[in-house]
């Protein structure tokens, strides 16, 4: 199956295309066979691997970030703690909540689950970088926190 996938991939890569449409190299091209196997990527289905490569292409084309806010940060400043306030009334989150902040940023809930707190007006929040390029937003006054991803 992997041989068929690699053969198909090589045909695609060898076909003529304009430089304007060039895409970044795939994981298979970037990594040695040993690294590819050690990371477990060889156990992905061809569809899963294609999806992962597409995800990387989209995020790299967007300059390291996407509308989801996840991306690759090229400078240290992009991963610093953010202290600001939620704009307006905060009552919790419902699974896909978008938080509008006073600093002009928007962050979306990145984990499943719901949480309700009493109505709070313009609560202070701290958004801290966590491992694996994730972010944790702590809301002052309710003792609650939620993983988030930047939207804007």
Q: Is 50 exceeded by the pLDDT of residue 108?
A: yes
- The total of structural domains in the chain comes to 2
In-domain check, residue 70: no
- 99 and 141 in a common domain: yes
In-domain check, residue 14: yes
- 88 and 55 in a common domain: no
- 33 and 81 in a common domain: no
Q: What is the mean pLDDT of residues 7-17?
A: 56
Percentage of the chain exceeding pLDDT 70: 70
pTM over 0.85: no
Show the CA angle centred on residue 114, arms to residues 112 and 118, nearest 5°: 150
pLDDT band at 3 (very low <50, low <70, confident <90, very high): low
pLDDT band at 77 (very low <50, low <70, confident <90, very high): very low
53-84 burial, b at 16+ Cβ within 10 Å, e below that, comes to beebeebeeeeebbeebbbeeeeeeeeeebeb
CB 5 within 8 A of CB 46: yes
- Confidence at residue 9, expressed as pLDDT on a 0 to 100 scale: 57
Kindly report, residue by residue over 113-128, the tens digit of the pLDDT: 899 998 999 999 999 9
- Confidence at residue 51, expressed as pLDDT on a 0 to 100 scale: 82
Kindly report, residue by residue over 35-69, the tens digit of the pLDDT: 777 778 888 888 888 888 787 776 665 444 444 44
Q: Which residue has the higher pLDDT, 80 or 26?
A: 80
Show the CA angle centred on residue 135, arms to residues 24 and 70, nearest 5°: 20
In-domain check, residue 68: no
Q: Which residue has the higher pLDDT, 76 or 24?
A: 24
Q: Is 80 exceeded by the pLDDT of residue 147?
A: yes
- 18 and 83 in a common domain: no
Residue 90's domain comprises 76-150
CB 71 within 8 A of CB 62: yes
| DSSP H stretches of helix in the chain | 2-14, 27-30, 33-38, 46-61
- 86 and 30 in a common domain: no
In-domain check, residue 100: yes
* Residue after which a domain boundary falls, among 61, 85, 107: 61
């Amino acid at each position: 199956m992997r041989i068929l996938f690699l053969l198909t991939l090589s045909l695609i890569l060898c076909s003529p295309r304009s430089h304007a449409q060039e895409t970044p190299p795939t994981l298979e091209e970037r990594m040695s066979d040993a690294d590819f196997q050690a990371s477990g990527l060889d156990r992905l289905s061809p569809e899963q691997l294609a999806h992962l490569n597409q995800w990387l292409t989209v995020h790299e084309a967007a300059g390291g970030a996407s509308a989801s806010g996840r991306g690759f940060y090229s400078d240290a400043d992009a991963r610093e703690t953010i202290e600001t306030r939620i704009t307006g009334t905060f009552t919790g989150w419902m699974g896909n909540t978008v938080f509008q902040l006073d600093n002009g940023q928007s962050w979306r809930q990145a984990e499943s689950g719901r949480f309700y707190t009493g109505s709070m007006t313009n609560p202070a929040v701290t958004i801290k970088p966590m491992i694996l390029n994730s972010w944790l937003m702590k809301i002052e006054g309710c003792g609650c926190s939620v993983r988030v991803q930047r939207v804007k």
